[in-house]
Structure 1
Amino acid sequence: MRGVNNLTNWGPTTRFLVGSTGLDEAKKDIYGRYTYREDVGTVFEVDGTSFNKLPETEQHYINVKGTLINVNKLEDFKQSDKSILLNNSGEEDLKKYRYYYWFGFPCRNQPTVYMNDEPVSITTIFNEQQLEQLNKGFNSLDLTQRHYFTITKNNDSITVDTLSKILDPKKQVESIKGIDLSMIYFAFTDPSGTSSPGWPMRLFIAALLDHCPDLYNTDINIIGLRCSANGSLQKSQVYNIKIPQISETSKGSAGWVGWERNEKGAFGPKLAVMSSSMDPIKLAESSSDLNMRLMKWRLVPELDLDVMKRTKCLLLGAGTLGCHVARNLLAWGFRNITFVDNAKVSYSNPTRQVLYTHQDCLNGGQKKAEAAANSLKAILPTVNSKSIFAHIPMPGYPVGEDLMEEMYNNVKLITDAIVEHDVVFLLLDSREARWLPTVIAALHGKIVINAALGFDSYLVMRHGVGLNVAGAGGEGLRAATVPGGRLGCYFCNDVTAPGNTFAERTLDQQCTVTRPGVAAIAGALAVEMLAALLQHPLGVEAPAVYNPDNKEIDSVDDGILGSVPHSIRGFLHSYQTVLPTCAKFTQCIACSDVVLNAYKDKGTEFLLKVFESGKYLERITGLEELHISAEMNDMLAFSDDEDQGNIDNE
């Protein structure tokens, strides 16, 4: 504030000391601002708009005016007497100091005041109607008067006034006698997010005592007004402050304090490295997360941004689905992405597969996994994107002697990659290509997100993680939800083993044909499902409901991004979406105990039998007997019908 006797213009201002080179040593006006922030605590902001002639105005923010002081040499900054500068600043003007940079909030160290009791919520003092009057009165104040003001409570009526209405601004020393302090609340806009008041309160009390010495040896009520983003004042605090009798010792020892502590908790300046803010790569990294930070600050305060950065994603398939999933992962803040593919970029790919260009098709085509990883780095240089060129062995595709070593290498590459990553995306062209990664991921307890496309339909689902299959069936079917660990995998609804789906197909029939928008939709939903799962308090154990339309389902099962379905089936021709849920199948040919134990115990020997014929899986899981039983029931049913028909004819 510019002089404690000028009560009509009371408001905190700041002074900044800036150490820099090549600048004239001159003072400049600068603006800062603060607000109450429930999510991140006390924040005082200075940005590029601080040098505007007029401050930027935004609802619920309080602008404060200060001074920027430049010095040419770092030595000048180091040699300056900080205590003298702070004292001079305080005596001359209650402003603020900055730069090399070091923030200071000048405030008198005398007298020491006390809180009579713990602060109480404003809702214990004012009712809802009074709070509405208070909010309306506060918003009617001029912007320059919202730092410090008064609130008068007269029965059920609330009046918000400038300080000049209570204290005479024309007199340097004004007596407080004749004013009923029990009806008056001195108020300030409080940026603190804790039970303790923010720094403007210290300035407020110091200025009040300078202007009104009769306030010594009294109790006063002070309100720290905290206005949330929705305009609510519910978080505001009321403090009952006891001001002791002034003493001659206090007068003589009065000084100024207020230097901010640095990152180490010690009194000292902070260093702003300008190169870090000017490096385009670092600028890209910080700017790319802007949408995520805005989501957290404005809409979802509980959002954990770090979990996205830590999570390592493995994308099996770098085709149309893989490209869309990768782009959405980047947008969600994922920074560790690895592609696995054994194809090369062809001329038909760039128009549908968004990570490739015409240049990737030249000279026989670049490897897809490598081109996709490089493309991500071109979009965001700091992303940790890798590529693995590998073929995934599949059931029903026998392995000859000459390909045995290649098969071993591919299985090892796929296994090592799954073990090293946290999430596996199955984005492959065929059903059989998904079998081996499903088995390996289930064995190692990895999150699996599966996406598959039809011509105008799509499927996105998560596999169950964590619990054994035993006992999952009956309990899950009787409940309204299925725990995340007991959800079925991609193969749990099948009663036949995967085989060679490309056999007896012409080359054009082997190509995946889909409407262009299907992959983009499925890719986006796959990433959204993962994001919702990672942000859910139960993580991989997040339950999925059997009937999403059941109004009796408890919303407690939802995470901060909503519920996490087991699967999403979409039909573009009718623009419909359904959310089926199924528990693990005890005879599943991929995630059942018998399959996982067989792979764990016999390893490659087991895989070779599966690659030779998928029917082997039907035998060890009991599906073969199930088929025979079903056929026998059909025959018996047919026989009974035939006999009944003969009887009727007779």
Structure 2
Amino acid sequence: MDLNRLKYATPLQSFVDTTFFQELSRIKLDILKLSSEGQKIYTSVNLENLSKSSVGGSIFLNSQSFDQECWHGVEKDVVISGTLYNFNTIEEFKSLDKQKFLEDRFKDVWERSKHDINQAVSFDMISFADLKRYKFYYWLCVTCFIPQLLSVNIIKKVPIDGVEEIQKWFNMHSKEWVCLLDKKGHILKYSVDAVENSRALCIRDTSNVPETPSTLTKNFLSIFNYHYPAKNQIMVNFIRTNDSSFAYDLKLSSEGTIDRFKVSGWERNAQGKLLPRVTDLSALIDPLKIADQSVDLNLKLMKWRVAPEINLKVIKEIKVLILGAGTLGCYVSRTLMAWGVRTVTLVDNSTVSFSNPVRQSLFGFDDVGKPKAETAANALKKVFPLMDATGVELSIPMIGHPITNEEKEKKEFEKLYELIKCHDVIFLLMDSRETRWLPAVLANVMGKVVINAALGFDSYLVMRHGIYDANDDSERLGCYFCNDVVVPMDSLTDKTLDQMCTVTRPGVALLAAAQAVELLVSLLQQKAVHNVPAGEKNFLGCIPHQIRGFLNEFTTLKLETPAYKHCSACSSAIVQECEELGWEFVKNSLNNPDYIEELSGLRDVKREVENLTEDITEWNIDEEEEFDIIR
């Protein structure tokens, strides 16, 4: 063994903060997605305060490592850049040919550093982020290289002069890793032209091992030898920030051309083995944050490959009001939550009964007797604590049901008005037609999106209401009441139990709830959600007006009906009267059965029908001879 051969210490040690992996998670979800292309990362090497136990400088990575702007103006520290390659599967990470990866990185570094020796220092990192378990596998390498036929031997240790001046020069030139001393001892920036007349090469040394330079020295000597192959002896000053700088006279012996290199650089783990490291953050990160990112992960996986155009932000930020916390309300709430909706308010005036939990997914046996709306909201927050879910116990004033307590019902109206005003989307999921009437009118007054779902025994209706526009009412889709020629009336009084409750096949509610939410999501992908034509398509598919499903034949129909000019809920006369009179309009509607008929024009329609019937009755055929009868 040649005892004079120059030995080297570890180039740089890595320390990776948990915030680095948190930011990597975000970048993986929002930027990288399925890409394994290199992502630039940055850090600085602080050589000022190395502890005596440290073997050298450190690469410290944190959340700011992904932002180049954070490293501008860093004094004294040496800023270095690297590249992160994040793989999509643990198999890809494990099966990567690590030596070939190093050699490919060397080629990049070599080409850069031949033109600028300060580009000879960089690092690379490979990783796999298991975002479901919050485990991060990574391996860092600092590429170090030297020609296979170049040997570096120590001739002798020599005294070093002017260390303080060289240290000051390096402090003033934080981007420089090397400099030259000319024959008069002047400090020069490294350049190809200056190499020939230089007396010494000065290297910023990251090692803290006595009289043993960093392995990065190989890179600088390789480039020096490439620039000046005829110079086989050079004094090298290894400059450190403490008082341990030293100098050697080195002999560079090359037995041939520089065409093949020895490349190294993979970092050893804590046990000193050439193996990757793994960081498990599941126990350290706030579980709520994990849940938050995990919910987003499920949706963003869709965006990566299947539907890259989908706007998840508009879905997440939408505020939804669900009127009716029964079977439909529970299923709609859960489906909205699965789509990433975070703000949901449920409204109901009843309590959980013994028959509810088996059909209504947000209730359990222990909830019997509790208010439905509040219990459902609490159940949503148990599933996902970051849900902004609120339950409101409220009786909605119903047309056809005269007022019995004006003070109480006026407060209920005002509460309903405020709820609709502060939400973006209204789901009408109540048991009766008359309960849906007032919210439908108020939604038109305020121009809100309304999704309506109603159930039969083996059929269902899902529809979106046309949105009223006082300035343009010519082409508008109809609402739930546009096919009626009568005003909704009391359908509950004196009814048997089976007539008062929604008796339906259990699977019908799931079908209707799912399609109601999917209809909303498709609608939200449009630039403007107001009065999107029926059947219009986007990347998610068709956006129908109405969906009518029939479970007895397992068929589905897509229908379209225009707004009816005499509609009891969305005609101009109704909307404008409600907007102008407010509670007085509601009071008149509830107390006077004829008020809405007269206001909407349905009374005139009824008269025309009655007159037409009278005309037909008077048209009596008595004399066959006046007609050509076919026998």
Q: Deviations over 1:481-513 (max 9, x none)?
A: xxxxx1111111111100001133123321110
Q: How far is 1:627 from its partner?
A: 1.4
Q: How far is 1:146 from its partner?
A: 11
8 Å contact kept, 2:460–2:508: yes
Amino acid at match of 1:144: D
Amino acid at match of 2:427: F
Cα distance in structure 1, aligned partners of 2:484 and 2:555: 23
Cα distance in structure 1, aligned partners of 2:508 and 2:520: 19
Cα distance in structure 2, aligned partners of 1:404 and 1:491: 26
Q: For residue 642 of structure 1, what is the aligned residue in structure 2?
A: 621
8 Å contact kept, 1:329–1:527: yes
1:528 alignment partner, one of 518, 522, 534: 518
Cα distance in structure 1, aligned partners of 2:37 and 2:472: 61
Cα distance in structure 2, aligned partners of 1:469 and 1:458: 33
2:110 paired with 1:207: yes
TM-score (norm 2): 0.61
Cα gap change, 1:251 to 1:346, in 2 (>3 Å): farther
1:632 alignment partner, one of 611, 614, 628: 611
Cα distance in structure 1, aligned partners of 2:112 and 2:96: 24
Q: For residue 594 of structure 2, what is the aligned residue in structure 1?
A: 615
1:360 alignment partner, one of 350, 354, 367: 367
Q: For residue 79 of structure 1, what is the aligned residue in structure 2?
A: 49
Cα gap change, 1:596 to 1:105, in 2 (>3 Å): same
Q: How far is 1:606 from its partner?
A: 1.9
8 Å contact kept, 1:469–1:593: no
8 Å contact kept, 1:62–1:146: no
Q: For residue 144 of structure 1, what is the aligned residue in structure 2?
A: 97
Q: For residue 411 of structure 1, what is the aligned residue in structure 2?
A: 413
Secondary structure of 1:374's match?
A: helix
Amino acid at match of 1:436: L
Cα gap change, 1:144 to 1:467, in 2 (>3 Å): same
Secondary structure of 2:367's match?
A: helix
Amino acid at match of 1:489: C
Cα distance in structure 1, aligned partners of 2:49 and 2:563: 72
Q: Deviations over 1:292-344 (max 9, x none)?
A: 01011121222222212211100000000000000001000000000100000
Q: For residue 393 of structure 2, what is the aligned residue in structure 1?
A: 389
Cα gap change, 1:621 to 1:17, in 2 (>3 Å): same
Amino acid at match of 2:61: Y
Cα gap change, 1:510 to 1:538, in 2 (>3 Å): same
Q: For residue 546 of structure 2, what is the aligned residue in structure 1?
A: 567
Write out aligned runs for 1:330-349 (5 A). Answer: 330-349=337-356
8 Å contact kept, 2:455–2:509: yes
2:495 paired with 1:511: no
Stretch moving more, 422-431 or 203-212: 203-212
8 Å contact kept, 2:455–2:508: yes
Amino acid at match of 2:412: N
Cα distance in structure 2, aligned partners of 1:40 and 1:251: 47
Cα gap change, 1:62 to 1:489, in 2 (>3 Å): closer
Q: Deviations over 1:256-297 (max 9, x none)?
A: 9xxxxxxxxxxxxxxx99699532222222212221010111
Amino acid at match of 1:291: N
Q: How far is 1:423 from its partner?
A: 0.6
Cα distance in structure 1, aligned partners of 2:607 and 2:324: 36
Q: How many residues are paired up?
A: 433
Q: How far is 1:563 from its partner?
A: 2.1
Cα distance in structure 2, aligned partners of 1:461 and 1:251: 80
2:297 paired with 1:321: no
1:540 alignment partner, one of 530, 545, 555: 530
Q: Which has the larger radius of gyration?
A: 2
Q: For residue 248 of structure 1, what is the aligned residue in structure 2?
A: 192
Q: For residue 318 of structure 2, what is the aligned residue in structure 1?
A: 311
2:433 alignment partner, one of 407, 431, 434: 431
Write out aligned runs for 1:575-586 (5 A). Answer: 575-586=554-565
8 Å contact kept, 1:370–1:387: yes
Write out aligned runs for 1:453-464 (5 A). Answer: 453-464=455-466
Q: How far is 1:85 from its partner?
A: 11
Q: How far is 1:100 from its partner?
A: 4.8
Secondary structure of 2:514's match?
A: helix
Cα distance in structure 2, aligned partners of 1:497 and 1:16: 78
Secondary structure of 2:559's match?
A: coil
Q: How far is 1:648 from its partner?
A: 5.4
Write out aligned runs for 1:474-493 (5 A). Answer: 476=475, 486-493=476-483
Q: How far is 1:105 from its partner?
A: 3.5
8 Å contact kept, 1:395–1:613: no
Secondary structure of 2:385's match?
A: coil
Cα distance in structure 2, aligned partners of 1:407 and 1:367: 19
8 Å contact kept, 1:423–1:449: yes
Cα distance in structure 2, aligned partners of 1:212 and 1:367: 75
Q: Deviations over 1:75-133 (max 9, x none)?
A: 9999359xx999x89xxxxxxx45356475359xxxxxxxxxxxxxxxxxxxxxxxxxx
Cα gap change, 1:61 to 1:310, in 2 (>3 Å): closer
Write out aligned runs for 1:124-143 (5 A). Answer: none
Amino acid at match of 2:383: I
Amino acid at match of 1:105: S
Cα gap change, 1:311 to 1:633, in 2 (>3 Å): same
Cα gap change, 1:538 to 1:346, in 2 (>3 Å): same
Cα gap change, 1:250 to 1:349, in 2 (>3 Å): farther
Cα distance in structure 1, aligned partners of 2:55 and 2:421: 59
Aligned CA RMSD, in angstroms, stands at 4.2
Cα distance in structure 2, aligned partners of 1:534 and 1:433: 26
8 Å contact kept, 1:277–1:283: no
Secondary structure of 1:579's match?
A: strand
TM-score (norm 1): 0.59
Q: Deviations over 1:175-198 (max 9, x none)?
A: xxxxxxxxxxxxx8xxxxxxxxxx
Q: How far is 1:40 from its partner?
A: 5.6
Q: For residue 15 of structure 2, what is the aligned residue in structure 1?
A: 18
Q: Which runs of 5+ in 1 are unaligned?
A: 1-13, 22-29, 46-59, 70-74, 90-96, 108-138, 150-162, 164-187, 189-199, 214-245, 257-271, 477-485, 546-556
Secondary structure of 1:487's match?
A: coil
Q: Which runs of 5+ in 2 are unaligned?
A: 1-10, 67-79, 84-91, 117-189, 202-218, 224-278
Cα distance in structure 1, aligned partners of 2:557 and 2:194: 74
2:65 paired with 1:99: no
Q: For residue 451 of structure 2, what is the aligned residue in structure 1?
A: 449
Cα gap change, 1:106 to 1:380, in 2 (>3 Å): closer
